Amino acid sequence: MEEPKNKNEPKETITRRYFFEMLGSSAIGAVTFGSAVLTYQYLSPNVLLEPPMAFKAGKPDDYPLDSVTLIPNQKVFIVREKAGYFYALSAICTHLGCIANWKPEGIEGHPEGIIACPCHGSKFSRTGEVLTGPAPQALARVQITLTDSGELLVDKGTLVGEEQILKV
């Protein structure tokens, strides 16, 4: 290392060679880091974590006889008929996917109440059948069972036929 020629000059100076060595090292480090990040992203599974399709919906006694209850965050209606049995319907309209609402006041010819879509006017019976379009098909019926501890368990991932009812 050179001795400073006068006292005001700093003792250590950055040489041109040293500067370019550091610049090169930094560039190699940046490229290596970027490659490592890209490799990690490539090797990591591209998994979309979705909420579980099954959920507990409380005790049967939480639902009065002859009731239709929308569980808004699950987009499911839980229907309890006068006879006491249950079934569950998806609240997702089969036209373009809006969330339908329960209208207990019903309409002419269906005073028992209807399920109505606010988007384009589709109407469904309380069993999910299409009363008026444009919905092309009935609301999906999803599985409802009872857990060992006596709670209602709805599985939106399992579609069932109209014959599936839960007697409690």
Cβ neighbors of 119 (< 8 A, separation 6 or more) are: 93, 95, 96, 98
The answer to whether residue 137 forms part of the interface with ligand FES (CB under 6 A) is no
The answer to whether residue 96 forms part of the interface with ligand FES (CB under 6 A) is yes
Cβ neighbors of 100 (< 8 A, separation 6 or more) are: 91, 92, 93, 115, 116, 117, 118, 122, 124, 139
Contact letters for ligand FES, residues 13-52 (x by CB under 6 A): ----------------------------------------
The answer to whether residue 117 forms part of the interface with ligand FES (CB under 6 A) is yes
Q: What strand order describes the sheet that includes 130-132?
A: 101-103, 114-116, 123-124, 130-132
Residue 89 CB neighbour total at 10 angstroms: 24
Amino acid identity, position 113: G
The answer to whether residue 134 forms part of the interface with ligand FES (CB under 6 A) is yes
Give the Cα separation of 154 and 163 in Å (integer).
Answer: 16
Residue 115 or 154 having the CB closest to ligand FES: 115
Single out the residue of 98, 138, 153, 165 in contact with ligand FES (rule: CB under 6 A). 98
Single out the residue of 87, 122, 143, 156 in contact with ligand FES (rule: CB under 6 A). 122
Residue 58 or 97 having the CB closest to ligand FES: 97
Q: Which residue has the tokens 């090292």?
A: 25
The answer to whether residue 107 forms part of the interface with ligand FES (CB under 6 A) is no
Instruction: By CB under 6 A, name the binding residues for ligand FES.
Output: 93, 95-98, 117, 119-122, 134-135
